[in-house]
């Protein structure tokens, strides 16, 4: 009887059902939540259980690269005593900033030893998730809950077999990083190295920024006249943060099929796509924020998030607008869904 009530308040879950891949709105939600929850918390210790998921320095990320145990130790050591300052998002990448640790030279603190502050870059890829566990909940329950999978078997003790990195805070609260597929990564860099991080350099513009104008959109798109519009929207170098789900939804609302070639799209149609990039993502950022909250309160009820989707994941079902059957195509190795009547 007491348990659902407990879960409804102190337990902050920041994750998504495994087939709702985190894209810009989901990562934005995670960033905002974590920013609020982690601000000024000091790390007591870090445990890395899956060395392949972490890396040090701005090097190119590779899932295959073996990380030596010394690097794991260094990763854990560098993060110890760090204080979370902020969590931000760039494309689908989470950027954690830590405050500069006060390190003094041996001569009685007269001279500060120069040391760059640290940033942690985290990509959730498909199934990465952060779960923050407050002190209050932990003192009130024996077990901890990990809603990592589906409604039929939602509860697992934390840490579970998919927990790969654990952040223990001074006040007893804990942040878990889980990833079923292990495609995600945590990359620790010094702030003076951050400009060398390749993925950050190569990201296209943020679609929700004021700087992302119709002009920028048109210029970028028209550079590749022979590509399909869908492949342009999901290309992080063209525009940041859009994946399979939102590209499908944007194209539905713009009324264009994903297979259309850029060359054969009119300026008016491109304008509709641009408008809907802003519209769909803005709506999703708002919706994700609230639906995640609902999800936590209902404990195991995963619904809510898909209710705004018109085409994604609805192949074979009726179009919500015209009742035609939603079709799908394979494009660049990904499934694209569209309504054959609403989208031309």
Partner DNA sequence: TATATTGTTACACC
Partner DNA sequence: TGGTGTAACAATAT
Q: What is the CA radius of gyration of the chain?
A: 22
Least distance CB 333 / DNA (angstroms): 5
Of 126 and 208, nearer to DNA (C-beta) is 126
Pair 29, 14: CB distance under 8 Å: yes
| Helices 24-38 and 267-298, axial angle in degrees (round to 10) | 40
Least distance CB 92 / DNA (angstroms): 4
Of 24 and 43, nearer to DNA (C-beta) is 24
Least distance CB 240 / DNA (angstroms): 9
Of 136 and 183, nearer to DNA (C-beta) is 183
Residue at token pair 């001569």: 107
Least distance CB 226 / DNA (angstroms): 3
Which residues make Cβ contacts (< 8 Å) with residue 21, sequence separation at least 6? 126, 243, 244, 245
Least distance CB 216 / DNA (angstroms): 17
| Helices 214-222 and 267-298, axial angle in degrees (round to 10) | 110
Of 173 and 314, nearer to DNA (C-beta) is 314
The contact set with DNA (CB under 7 A) reads 19, 21, 23, 52, 60-61, 63-64, 91-92, 123, 125-126, 149-150, 153, 161, 180-183, 198-199, 202, 223-228, 231, 234, 236, 243-245, 261, 313, 331-335
* Residue 148 token pair: 């990592």
- Which element (helix H / strand E) includes 76? helix 69-79
Sign of the Cα torsion 18, 19, 22, 25 reads negative
Of 173 and 228, nearer to DNA (C-beta) is 228
Least distance CB 321 / DNA (angstroms): 21
What is the C-alpha to C-alpha distance for residues 178 and 167, in angstroms, rounded to an integer? 12
Sign of the Cα torsion 137, 181, 202, 101 reads positive
Of 56 and 331, nearer to DNA (C-beta) is 331
């Amino acid at each position: 009887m007491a348990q659902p009530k407990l879960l409804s308040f102190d337990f902050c879950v920041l994750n998504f059902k495994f087939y709702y891949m985190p894209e810009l709105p989901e990562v934005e939600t995670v960033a905002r939540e974590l920013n609020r929850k982690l601000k000024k918390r000091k790390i007591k210790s870090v445990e890395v259980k899956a060395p392949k998921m972490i890396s040090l320095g701005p090097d190119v990320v590779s899932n295959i690269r073996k990380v030596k145990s010394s690097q794991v130790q260094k990763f854990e050591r560098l993060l110890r005593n760090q204080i979370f300052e902020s969590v931000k998002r760039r494309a689908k990448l989470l950027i954690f900033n830590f405050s500069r640790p006060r390190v003094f030279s041996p001569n009685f603190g007269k001279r500060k030893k120069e040391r760059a502050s640290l940033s942690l870059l985290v990509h959730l890829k498909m199934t990465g998730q952060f779960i923050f566990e407050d002190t209050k909940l932990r003192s009130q329950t024996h077990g901890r809950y990990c809603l990592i999978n589906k409604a039929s078997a939602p509860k697992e003790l934390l840490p579970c077999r998919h927990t790969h990195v654990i952040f223990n805070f001074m006040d007893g609260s804990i942040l878990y990083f889980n990833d079923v597929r292990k495609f995600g990564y945590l990359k620790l860099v010094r702030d003076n190295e951050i400009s060398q991080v390749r993925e950050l350099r190569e990201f296209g513009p943020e679609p929700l920024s004021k700087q992302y104008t119709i002009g920028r959109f048109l210029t970028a798109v028209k550079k590749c006249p022979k590509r399909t519009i869908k492949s342009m929207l999901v290309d992080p170098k063209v525009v940041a943060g859009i994946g399979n789900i939102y590209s499908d939804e944007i194209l539905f609302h713009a009324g264009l099929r994903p297979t259309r070639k850029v060359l054969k799209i009119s300026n008016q149609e491109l304008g509709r796509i641009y408008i809907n990039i802003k519209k769909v993502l803005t709506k999703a950022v708002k919706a994700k924020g609230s639906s995640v909250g609902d999800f936590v309160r209902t404990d195991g009820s995963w619904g809510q998030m898909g209710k705004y989707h018109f085409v994604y994941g609805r192949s074979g079902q009726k179009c919500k607008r015209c009742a035609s059957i939603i079709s799908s195509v394979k494009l660049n190795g990904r499934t694209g869904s569209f309504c054959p009547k609403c989208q031309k």
